[in-house]
A and B are shown apart, each in its own frame.
Chain A
């Protein structure tokens, strides 16, 4: 009987080995995904009623579809919560203009980037005096408290722009159109999203200058244990660019405002 017990134990040990090391929480093994997105970013992630729309939202849907996921639920997140919700498992994936940085990489793992945005400048279409960041000297530039974009121009680039405060980039846009300020500078996709919405609402046409002063690799945030998920997301992004879907989405959301979007696959961060 002792021997029978031993054999049983051996059998159990061997059977147990089959699942050892498997990560049951990987997004590659799920049929339904909860995706964290922005709820207030026109063109990227915007909630109207109960539905979400924008480039980030469409990218998340594409990735989910290519992972074989059947149900996608969106959840609004903010820059303050995106790491904690990933770690707690409240969301499976974050697609929310989430720039990959070395510090963030110590907390979560990033698939992608699915797009490399750049800080750029938005002006009224008839503005001819602003061709790069240095031309912002002495001009009225929107400053949103808490955003790194304004200090990047003034402190890091040493360009003495005049601050005009606004609470959100949406408010900046309104002031730009009414002539209360001369330029808005932040990620080009955010600017293009705002400008596209403004164009739909009618009003003074706007233009993106096209003088990038930063690289903002937008990554797909995942729980740091999900290396398989990260690799699968990279594969999904690769095919998304190869079959022209990415180019189509960029055209849909940012085409009308003259953003010269990059339609080739970005350099991935790597999953290890």
Chain B
């Protein structure tokens, strides 16, 4: 209310001095009209600032919550589906004609087909999101490379079926074909698919940063114009009370209160919008995307475990790739896989490591996240312990047992424990997905009534100003 005390003293007599002030209204009535007109202009500016800020908030929420955001999340599964295709191909070739291992070749191939269908859908979605020629070219290159992959995979499967073998490494001709296929997947298909989803995420990041900055600037604009409006109303009030020797003009006082309330509410709603955008982006979108990547890369590591058994000659390379991928999921410094496993088993705290799970460990304030994250860590440890056992069995020359320890679905078998870990991770992703949906719902709800509310509030203030001013002007007629 400093504006009241510091408002320039209103003169009782019109000025006669020529100069810059000669256009200033000379009569009291003219001054009242001029002040009222200024109030209306300030009101229009305030409403416009609110309108623009609310539209920015809505645009941000629409892109992140309804358009690009969910679409990018849908494409993040692409990488997972593709790695899973190669994983299922490796499993099918490793099993051969064997039955009773917990999984059969036909089951693995059925899942391969399922993956392919989902990958195709995700790829189409990702291609639609491509907004630059280089991205479109990447999407096209993925389709081409995937076609080559399928051709080679088909040859390997046919040859393997014709040769017929029990669980364990297939013939060298089949292995040759599989190597071509998996190299193609690893070097050509997967990097491009991954980069494509990274590019699409960029689109969401840009919208988020632009709109969030716009909303924050909008808050400043709303507060400044709103306070200007209030100040003008107070000036008008002071002028009227002095001029007409009244205590208070109730209609103007009410208009001032409405203007204050409107400004305050708008600022609060807009900061709520900025917070909802942030929640949707950081707690929801970013986490879902990062954890989906962790899931896809972990699945690819799991396939390297199969490849390690499938192709003894390349075992060293596959073991190293398993470790690289495991470290990108949960990074602890270690020179080799045995040391990595020891470090993972020793890791008791929920923080103190890097990688995708390290970034997730730093997140706070999402309900249910801590418990779900805890079980991701526990199940990851169990899976890594299985991995160690498999590799120790191979080193000890007990390859058949290693294959069984790999393929079994029961607890203590690597496949089963990986599935448990994967479920825990999917649950954690679901928690962030729910946080995303919540934030989007709150954001949508926060601005629901503004389209009608703003004009109504404007009309109310105009009506109150008129009601306060007209009787006073009437005294001059």
Contacts and interface: CB of A to CB of B under 8 A. Distances in A.
A1 B209 CA distance: 37
A164 B285 CA distance: 52
Interface string B168-192: 0000000000000000000110111
B316 to A, nearest CB: 6
Contact of B192 (A10, A215, A265): A265
Interface in A1-22: 1-3, 6-7, 9-10, 13-14, 17, 20-21
Contacts of A238: 134, 138, 195
A14 B220 CA distance: 8
B198 A212 contact: no
Interface string A228-272: 000100110011001000000000000000000010111110111
A270 B286 CA distance: 12
B134 A235 contact: yes
B331 A14 contact: no
Interface in B349-369: 354-355, 358
A175 B452 CA distance: 83
B65 to A, nearest CB: 19
A211 B317 contact: yes
A215 B328 CA distance: 12
A181 to B, nearest CB: 22
A51 interface: no
Contact of B354 (A20, A103, A133): A103
A151 B324 CA distance: 17
Given A212-B317, A213-B317, A268 B225 contact: no
B398 to A, nearest CB: 19
B8 to A, nearest CB: 7
B82 to A, nearest CB: 12
B355 A272 contact: no
Given A6-B227, A156-B335, A272-B286, A102 B220 contact: no
Given A2-B7, A106-B354, A264-B191, A133 B316 contact: yes
A102 B8 contact: no
B336 interface: yes
A231 B339 CA distance: 35
Contact of A215 (B195, B235, B320, B333): B320
B138 A267 contact: no
Q: Which of B224, B324, B355 has the most CB of A within 10 A?
A: B224
A71 interface: no
Nearest to A270: B198
B190 A267 contact: yes
Interface in B317-336: 317, 320-321, 324, 327-328, 331, 333, 335-336
**A interface, over-half SS:** helix
Given A239-B134, A267-B191, A268-B195, A155 B335 contact: yes
B213 interface: yes
A14 B217 contact: yes
Nearest to A101: B331
Contact of A234 (B141, B198, B228, B317): B198
A147 interface: no
A152 interface: yes
A132 B316 contact: yes
A103 B328 CA distance: 11
A160 B6 CA distance: 87
A56 to B, nearest CB: 20
A78 interface: no
A20 B217 contact: yes
A30 B324 CA distance: 35
B194 A268 contact: yes
Contact of A151 (B213, B293, B335, B358): B335
Q: Which of B3, B191, B286 has the most CB of A within 10 A?
A: B191
Contacts of A264: 187-188, 191-192
Contact of B213 (A10, A20, A265, A270): A20
Contacts of B191: 264-268
B304 to A, nearest CB: 12
A214 interface: yes
A215 B213 contact: no
Contacts of A227: 205
A13 B227 CA distance: 14
B101 to A, nearest CB: 30
A28 to B, nearest CB: 13
Given A21-B209, A133-B316, A239-B134, A6 B228 contact: yes
B69 to A, nearest CB: 15
A29 interface: no
A65 to B, nearest CB: 15
A267 B205 CA distance: 20
Nearest to B137: A242
A234 B6 contact: no
Contacts of B7: 2
Contacts of B293: 270
A1 B194 CA distance: 59
B231 interface: yes
A125 interface: no
B221 interface: yes
Contacts of A271: 198, 202
A10 B187 contact: no
B435 interface: no
B3 A2 contact: yes
B439 interface: no
B335 A3 contact: no
A253 to B, nearest CB: 19
Contacts of B6: 2
4 cross-chain pairs, A with B, having the tightest CB-CB distances, nearest first: A17-B217, A267-B191, A10-B224, A102-B354
Interface of B: 3, 6-8, 132, 134, 137-138, 141, 187-188, 190-192, 194-195, 198-199, 201-202, 205, 209, 213, 216-217, 220-221, 224-225, 227-228, 231-232, 235, 286, 293, 316-317, 320-321, 324, 327-328, 331, 333, 335-336, 339, 354-355, 358
10 contacts: A3-B228, A6-B228, A102-B331, A211-B316, A215-B321, A264-B191, A266-B191, A267-B194, A267-B195, A268-B191
